[in-house]
Amino acid sequence: MAAPGSGGAGRAENGYGSQRRKGPGALATTYLVIYNVVMTAGWLVIAVGIVRAYLTKGSYHSLYYSIEKPLKFFQTGALLEILHCAFGIVPSSVVLTAFQVMSRVFLTWAVTHSVKEVQNEDSVLLFVVAWTITEIIRYSFYTFSLLNHLPYLIKWARYTLFIVLYPMGVSGELLTIYAALPFVRQAGLYSISLPNKYNFSFDYYTFLILVMISYIPTF
Amino acid sequence: MFRRHKPSVAEHKKDFAVHGAALPGPQNDMRSFFNLSQLVLSAGQLRSPPILRHSKITYFEVEILDAQSKRQICVVDKVPPSFSLLDVKHKFHKTCPQWNPSRIGLRLERNGPYLKDSISIQSLAVSSIITLYFTDLGQQVTWTTVFLTEYSGPLLIYLLFYIRLSSIYAEEESTESFRHPVVHLACLCHCLHYVRHLLETLFVHKISGGHTPLKNMIKGCAFYWGFTSWIAYYVNHPRYTPPSFGNRQVIFAALAFLMCEAGNHFINVALVQQNHSASFPSPTYNPFTWLFTLVSCPNYTYEIGSWISFTVMTQTLPVGIFAFLMAIQMSLWAQKKHRLYVKKYNMGALRKTAMIPFIF
């Protein structure tokens, strides 16, 4: 989900304006700067990849294949942010960050990668573009914040563009899951039914529908 | 009053003495009797009054402000120094009856820790006016209510699945008469577990009478009831598969389950008795209490043991998941309690673990 959650910032921004919590140490700050710079670069690669593929192909369909590998790599790399919160070098809640990152990783691997038929859909392009722009802004925001040199443009972009990007991302994600449903049902993907030795059953189709419904309260 | 009249009587006597004993006899006697009676009457009580003079009890005033808006809600006055915070809360409740004492959260600073009910007003007072910040803690319920609801839910829910309500298993297979005996045994064990919990809540545990927000009860009930429904669905399903190793597995697991239930019960009884003594409960002749030598919270150990036995007995993955989650939750509780015990009873040298012997 293209939510502008706080991830790599080293400073707690609260209403009192002053730095209430101790920031991370020098080593942690260096590591976080490197991490955020690498992530910004990665998502820029994905952005450039999309634009190049569009210019080469002449249409905006089926652009997923050109950026499949960097997308998977850098989106999965976001899992490190959960560790950042767990180790306390980032002042965010572990549960919240885990929730956001897992939802992204779920969409990347358990839906788009697993259901190959869905990769041609335009909804995939919709959420990939939304994620790309959001992540570039977000990671550069964190980089600049850590270096205490935040340009107003980035701050404005982060808190304004999400009004467009968040609904765009959510729509792309929901449409992709919806498109994947018939293929999941047909292949019985990731599903197990009774009777079996462990007396357990799981229906991935129903699970995906529940995931779609769960978007409503988190909206 | 005593002092006021005294000089007048003395004056009288002085006048008399000044004028000499010039008055005639009987009139003299009358006068002196009159003076004496006046003296007696004016003396009041014959006992000397206590020398209390100007000592009044210093009453405090407790000003209660809203923690967010800083507006004054009310002032509780005439608070004697012997009052505890709970008494102040009761007085506050009388002026503002919409907040029960249990949901009143008072603290000295706007973002400080909440004050305990047992604190005396005397210890808080810097001057005769004490300012406290109020937060509404929300609807509260007693711990007893929480436990009773949390445990009676699973009891009933499991039975609903056991009797195979037609809306749950709406298949023609559910009318099949044969059910493996382990299904009946599982129902019996599950009910035994929760009946034991309910009876212990009612008759064994001495619950401190504290309260907890309603939200916590909803969360706990959702967890227990949800998981019980999930477990009960699979164990009572028409297509349930009995354990792979057959009767041996079932009997072994059932015995382990009963042992853990008994152990849990005896530990709970021992912990209640411990509240009266000052030292950590020690193992007695009862073999189930011998776990006290290795572990500081054996009730959690036995509880996890019960659930693992139940998993093995039914060979059902959802039960295993439930047991795993319970183990995580209980290990957190056990760690907290272990730290408290080590501090309180000075147990550092004994090298006990919190919940699992030798490991954790």
Task: Give residue-wise pLDDT tens across range B304-341.
Answer: 999 999 999 999 999 999 999 999 999 999 999 888 88
The proportion of chain A whose per-residue pLDDT surpasses 90, expressed as a percent, equals: 80
What's the gap between Cα B209 and its chain centre? 3
pLDDT for B345: 78
What pLDDT, in 10s, does the model give residues B122-142?
887 788 888 888 888 888 888
Mean pLDDT of A180-198: 92
- pTM over 0.80, yes/no: no
Element (H, E) at B345: helix B317-345
Q: What is the mean pLDDT of residues B77-94?
A: 84
Helix (H) or strand (E) holding B205: none
Position A3 in a domain: no
CB contact under 8 A, A194 and B235: no
Angle, vertex CA B332, rays to CA B298 and CA B195, nearest 5: 55
Structural domain includes residue A165? yes
User: Alpha carbon B149 to chain centroid distance?
Assistant: 17
Q: What is the mean pLDDT of residues A10-36?
A: 68
Contact assessment for residue B316 and residue B235, using Cβ atoms and an 8 Å cutoff: yes
**Cα separations (Å) of B91 from A175, B61, B94, B187?**
59, 12, 5, 50
Please report which confidence band the pLDDT of residue B32 belongs to, taking 50, 70 and 90 as the band edges. Answer: confident
Interface confidence, given as ipTM, is 0.71
The dihedral of CA B230, B232, B238, B242: what is its sign? positive
Residue A35 falls inside a structural domain = yes
The verdict on a CB contact (< 8 Å) between A195 and B316 is: no
Instruction: Please check the confidence at residue B18 and state whether its pLDDT lies above 50.
Output: no
Which chain A positions have a beta carbon within 8 Å of B322's beta carbon? none
Q: Which residues contact B319 (CB under 8 A, 6 or more apart)?
A: B231, B235, B307, B310, B311
Domain count, chain A: 1
| Catalytic residue check, A166 | yes
Instruction: Indicate if A152 belongs to the active site.
Output: no
Q: Which residues of B touch A195 (CB under 8 A)?
A: 239-241
The residue from A121, A173, A204, A205 that is catalytic is A173
Q: Which helix H or strand E contains A202, and what residues bound it?
A: none
Measured in residues, chain B has a length of: 360
Mean pLDDT, rounded, for B238-248: 90
Whether the per-residue pLDDT at B57 is higher than 90: the answer is no
Whether residue A198 and residue B315 make contact (CB cut-off 8 A), yes or no, is yes
Between the CA atoms of A36, A42, A44 and A46, what dihedral angle is there, to the nearest 10 degrees? -150
> Nearest C-alpha of chain B: how many angstroms from A201?
8
Q: Which of residues 139-158 of A touch B (CB under 8 A)?
A: none
Task: Name the DSSP class of B289.
Answer: G
Q: How many CB atoms lie within 10 A of CB B330?
A: 19
Q: B169-208 burial, b if ≥16 CB within 10 A, otherwise e?
A: beeeeeeeeeeeebbebbbebbbebbebbbebbeeebeee
Q: How confident is the model at residue B54 (pLDDT cuts 50, 70, 90)?
A: low
- Tell me if A2 is assigned to some domain: no
* Domain encompassing residue A57: 11-218
A1, part of any domain: no
In a domain, A6, yes or no: no
User: CA angle, corner A157, sides to A152 and A159, nearest 5?
Assistant: 100
CB contacts of A201 in chain B (<8 Å) are: 234
Exactly one of A166, A178, A190, A215 is catalytic; name it. Answer: A166
CB contact under 8 A, A199 and B244: no
Residue A212 counted as domain residue? yes
Instruction: Answer whether residue A106 is part of any domain.
Output: yes
DSSP secondary structure letters along B137-182: --SEEEHHHHHHHHHHHHHHHHHHHHTT-TTTS-SGGGG-----HH
Put simply, the answer to whether A199 touches B318 (Cβ < 8 Å) is yes
SS3 content of chain B, % helix, strand, coil (to 5): 60, 10, 30
Sequence letter at residue B153: G
Q: How confident is the model at residue B28 (pLDDT cuts 50, 70, 90)?
A: low
The β-bridge relationship of strands B129-136 and B60-66 is parallel
A199/B316 Cβ within 8 A: yes
Task: Render pLDDT for A29-81 as a digit per residue (tens, 0 to 9).
Answer: 999 999 999 999 999 999 999 999 999 999 889 899 999 999 999 999 999 99
CA angle B67–B70–B71, rounded 5-degree value: 120
